[in-house]
Amino acid sequence: MKYETLANVTLPKIGFGTWNIGGGSTPNLKLDSAHRIALRSALDVGYTHFDTAEMYASGHAEELLGQAIRESNVKRENLFITSKVMPSHLRYDDVLHSCEKSLQRLQMDYIDLYLIHWPSVGSKYDDTFRALNKLVKDGKVKHLGVSNFNLKLLKQAGELSETSIITNQVPYSLSDRSYVKNGVLEHCQQNNIFLTAYEPLDKGNMRSNKTLEAVAKTHNKTIFQIALAWVISQPNIITIPMSTNSDHIKENFEAAEINLTKEEIDSLNK
pLDDT digits (tens, 9 = 90+) for 102-151: 999 999 999 999 999 999 987 889 999 999 999 999 999 999 999 999 99
pLDDT of residue 182: 97
pLDDT of residue 242: 96
What digits encode the pLDDT tens for the residues 43-90?
A: 999 999 999 999 999 999 999 999 999 999 899 999 999 999 999 999
pLDDT of residue 208: 84
264: enclosing H helix or E strand: helix 262-269
Strand partners, 12: 3
Which member of 56, 172, 179, 198 is catalytic?
Answer: 56
In this structure, what are the phi and psi dihedrals at residue 58, rounded to the nearest 5 degrees? 55, 40
Contact 258, 2 (CB under 8 A): no
* Contact residues for 173 (Cβ-Cβ < 8 A; gap 6+): 197, 199, 200, 201, 202, 206, 227, 231
10: enclosing H helix or E strand: strand 9-12
Report domain 3-269's class: alpha beta
- Type of residue at 189: Q
What digits encode the pLDDT tens for the residues 155-209?
A: 999 999 999 999 999 999 999 999 999 999 999 999 999 999 999 998 777 788 8
pLDDT of residue 73: 87
The answer to whether residue 56 is catalytic is yes
Q: Nearest CA to 166 among 6, 51, 14, 4?
A: 6
